């Protein structure tokens, strides 16, 4: 059971249904999944090239559009054409999702705005949540796509807006601050503080969800007294 209660979900469904009717017959769900991966590569390249010019942020934004199209339309197209492949689709889609997430975060860490250390601090709790979702998909037959009314589409939109702000406000390009942690000094760039907030939020979200579901499983699978 898919749990999708994000803010943009009603509008997104309308757009996807309109797009899926116009997709040529030779385009398959696998092609669209590949488009999502291409989008992630474009994002990574765009971010890395910001070391030369902030204008490359627009290439990263284009990558987010391509990634959204591929990731959102592959399953929609399979359902529209009644060509679902639950086992193959689940396996390919979610493995490639992890690849895309790694590429995007790696690109951000190689950009002019975020350090690689902070980028890796984002991907680790994100993948922990990914594992949590996969476990619940197996144990509860529940596939949750939304947390706090935010899903992948909302996250992409927020990042695109952040990229646009970085481009239109050049002073952010040179912003930095220094912090000391356990006698070690770190310099934080423009997106590092945002990245640390996202990482901390993901950790808190993971721990809360883990605690709630641990209590649920304890109730339905109580400790049995020995004979």
- List CB contacts of 162: < 8 A, sequence separation 6 or more: 191, 194
Q: Which two tokens stand for residue 134?
A: 């996969």
**DSSP code for 173:** G
Cβ–Cβ < 8 Å for 66, 39? yes
Cβ–Cβ < 8 Å for 85, 74? no
- List CB contacts of 19: < 8 A, sequence separation 6 or more: 69, 73
Instruction: For residue 127, count CB atoms less than 10 angstroms from its CB and return exposed for 0-12, middle for 13-18, buried for 19 or more.
Output: middle
Query: Which of 51-55, 100-104, 189-193, 211-215 is least confident?
Result: 189-193
Give the pLDDT confidence score for residue 1 in this predicted structure: 63
Mean pLDDT, residues 145-149? 70
Give the pLDDT confidence score for residue 227 in this predicted structure: 55
Mean pLDDT, residues 24-45? 95
Give the pLDDT confidence score for residue 60 in this predicted structure: 97
Give the pLDDT confidence score for residue 96 in this predicted structure: 93
Find, among 146, 162, 137, 152, the residue nearest to 16 by Cα.
152
Residue 10 has pLDDT above 90, yes or no: no
- List CB contacts of 27: < 8 A, sequence separation 6 or more: 77
Give the pLDDT confidence score for residue 4 in this predicted structure: 62
Residue scoring higher pLDDT (143 or 1):
143
The pLDDT tens digits for 84-139 are 888 898 899 889 999 999 999 999 999 988 889 899 999 999 889 889 988 988 88
The pLDDT tens digits for 151-210 are 788 888 988 998 999 899 888 777 777 888 787 787 888 788 888 888 898 899 899 989
Residue 226 has pLDDT above 80, yes or no: no
Q: Which domains does the chain have, with CATH numbers?
A: 2-220 (1.20.120.1760)
């Amino acid at each position: 059971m898919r749990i999708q209660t994000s803010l943009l979900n009603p509008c997104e469904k309308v757009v996807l249904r309109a797009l899926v009717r116009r997709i040529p017959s030779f385009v398959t769900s696998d092609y669209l999944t590949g488009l999502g991966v291409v989008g992630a590569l474009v994002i990574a390249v765009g971010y890395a090239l910001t070391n030369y010019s902030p204008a490359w942020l627009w290439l990263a934004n284009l990558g987010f559009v391509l990634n959204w199209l591929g990731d959102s339309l592959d399953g929609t197209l399979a359902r529209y054409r009644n060509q679902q492949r639950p086992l193959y689709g689940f396996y390919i889609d979610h493995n490639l999702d992890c690849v895309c997430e790694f590429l995007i975060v790696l690109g951000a860490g190689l950009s002019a705005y975020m350090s690689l250390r902070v980028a890796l601090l984002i991907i680790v709790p994100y993948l922990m949540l990914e594992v949590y979702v996969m476990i619940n998909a197996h144990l509860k037959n529940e596939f949750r796509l939304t947390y706090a009314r935010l899903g992948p589409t909302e996250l992409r939109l927020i990042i695109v807006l952040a990229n646009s702000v970085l481009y239109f406000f050049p002073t952010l390009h040179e912003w930095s601050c220094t912090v000391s942690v356990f006698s070690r000094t770190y310099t934080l760039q423009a997106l590092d503080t945002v990245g640390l907030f996202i990482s901390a939020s993901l950790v808190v979200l993971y721990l809360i969800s883990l605690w709630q579901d641990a209590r649920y499983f304890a109730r339905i699978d109580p400790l049995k007294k020995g004979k």
